[in-house]
Each structure stands twice: as C-alpha cells, then as structure tokens.
Structure 1
C-alpha cells in the first residue's frame, strides 16, 4: 500500500469513529421527571384536530405511550401503523397511545383524513417541541416516544423510529 491509500484508510477510520461517537450522543434521551409530566403534559390544554378540548383527566391512571410526530417526518409516518396496531392490542390492558402532532392544524387534519389512527391525536404545534424537550427529548428531534406508567412516572423514552418488539417490551415493563 502506498502513502495515499494509508491516508484514505485513516480518514475513513476517523470518520467511522466520529460517527459512532456522535450517534451515541444524538440518540441519548432522559426520562422525564414526575413534576414535568404533571405540569407540562397533563396540565396542557390539548386540542384535538376537530377543535375540541381534550380532557386529560381521562388519561390519568393509564399507562400512556406518547408519540411526538409530524406529517412531514418520514420515520414518524412509517411508525404510525405499528403504533395503531399496538394501541388495539393493548387497549384492554389500560394502555392509551397519544399522538402529539408537531405540525399545523391543517396539515394534521389533512394527514389524518388519509391515514386515520385508532388513538387520540392532539395538536402540539410549535410548542409541542418544547414539551418534548421537557419530557426528556434534549435534541428536540422527531419521532420521540415516551411511556408514562399509570402512576405518572416516565419509564421509557426513545428518540427515533420505534421497533414493534422494542415498544411492546417497554409497554409490558410499564404495566
């Protein structure tokens, strides 16, 4: 091997190492504190896509799978059928999925008219990004999923697209 090939190999190795380190940093999320969940999530005046106020009192005492998403986010859209399937699977076990749309009301309405889901969707708008940060999403990226157990404690968070088995296992751990 000549010197040029060694330099290319060294640069590739450094790029690989940098990518591994960066991916570890980017994917880290924390668990939300109970006060943040009560103040930022349950006390938030949520609105459904049809303009009605959502009563979060009905959500308390249930295990919640809260998914922050947007219609313009391909991984968010890709994971919605899985979330919908799991909502139906866990419905009788006191588990509720809630989608928080980080998008405009009109975009969310249009998206849901073409891709309906069996779980409640609420409008997060731009403020929804701040809420996801308060609930452990330090990057503010999407999709972001958090599980809150029936006692109001965060038990799981995931930045990025969920896997069906991964989220199923996390739900069972929260019950």
Structure 2
C-alpha cells in the first residue's frame, strides 16, 4: 500500500510538472498556445478535466449583485478566468470588449470571472470600460473552479460554450483575435460586418 501511494504521488507530481512546463513555455513564447503534439495533448487533457457543459453556479459581480449561469441559456458564452494583477489578462481585455460589442447582438456573451478583490475589479472595469459581465470568484471556490479551472491552471484561460451549453473550445494563455475568431464564427450564424482580425 505505501508503494502504491508513492507511485500515485509520483505520477501526480510528474503531471503537475508537465502542465507547469506548458504554462511556462506559453509565457516565454509570446504567450501563444504551443504547437507541438506533446504540449497540445497536455492542453487537450486539461480541457477534458474541466466541465463539458456550462456549469450551474451563482456568483456576484463587483457591485455584489448575484448572477446565475442558468440565465445564459441559448447564448454562445465565452468564459474568461482572469485577475487584475495578471499582465496577459490585462492585455486581452480590449479584445474581449470588442467581441462583446461586435457579437453581442447575436446572442453572444463574454463573462469574466475574476479571482480577485471586488474593489480592484471595479476600478479596473471602469478604467478599461468593460462592457461585459464581470463576476468575482474566491480563489478556493470549488463550485466554479473545479469545473472552470483555478489560478493554479494558469491565467488567463478561456472556455467557449455553444448555445446548447456544450464546451467547444479551451484556450490557456493570452487570447488573440487570430485564435478566437475561427472558434466563434461557426457558432454565430448571422452575418456581421464585425471582424476582430481587421486592423
């Protein structure tokens, strides 16, 4: 039994080291997703551990008003897990604002979940003119983080859910227009002049 426990502990430690290596490689390489097969397989494994469907939860915004994820049914939902102290998180906020503005009329929602202090998030939201739903989660809140990922996974990270609530995409690291536009376009059937890839 001690040998079995030691083996399991070693396996978990190696897995954590591998995931950490992927995360660090993304920071060094312009914070873009790794392209080789081994690292892609690790990201696929991470995605599989998270919720396959948009989980049901209630969280407050930075004003203290509660919001229920069941209210987002029939929408394409992009959930972005972030924090104000995270530099890549700050860099991608203008893109999220553009996505909400450009696609919002088509039943698309950006939902930010900040692992942060409400006062810091409120100040940040005003500074960056955030136009999407910005919620607050405790760093140890299991109702959300077990299904959407914690800071230990790496920040920022983004999940996309289709209109049925199924998870269709997971991205670890800085989100770019080149990454997200091909994901959202097939899910949003109405024609639009908005193009996040345009200069």
Q: Which of 163, 166, 169 is residue 179 of structure 2 equivalent to?
A: 166
Matches within 5 A, 1:65-144: 65-127=78-140, 131-135=144-148, 139-144=152-157
Note closer, same or farther for the CA distance 1:170–1:124 as it changes in structure 2 (3 Å cut).
same
- Structure 1 stretches of 5 or more lacking a match? 1-18
Distance 1:135 1:155 in 2: 13
Structure 1 stretches (4+) deviating beyond 2 angstroms?
22-27, 31-35, 55-58, 127-139
Point out where structure 2 has 5 or more consecutive residues left out of the alignment: 1-20, 26-33, 189-199
Distance of aligned partners of 1:33 and 1:102 in 2 relative to their CA distance in 1, 3 Å threshold: closer
Alpha carbons of structure 1 residues 82 and 138: separation in structure 2 relative to 1, 3 Å: closer
Q: 1:114 to 1:136 in 2, by over 3 A?
A: closer
Give the Cα–Cα distance (whole angstroms) in 1 for the partners of residues 171 and 150 of structure 2.
8
CA RMSD of aligned residues (A): 2.7
Moved more, 62-71 or 104-113: 104-113
CA distance in 1, matches of 2:171, 2:101: 21
> Secondary structure of the equivalent of 2:154?
coil
Match of 1:30 in 2: 47
- Residue number in structure 1 paired with 2:62: 49
> Contact 2:59–2:67 at 8 Å: present in 1 too?
yes
Q: What do the CA deviations read for 1:17-52 (whole angstroms, capped 9, x no partner)?
A: xx78x74549713144446x33xxx2x221011111
- Cα distance change of structure 1 residues 161 and 132 upon mapping to structure 2, 3 Å threshold: farther
Deviating more after overlay: 24-33 vs 158-167: 24-33
1-structure distance, mates of 2:151, 2:169: 14
- The 8 Å contact of residues 145 and 159 in structure 1, kept in 2 or not, is answered as yes
TM-score (norm 1): 0.75
Q: 1:144 to 1:101 in 2, by over 3 A?
A: same
Paired residue total: 151
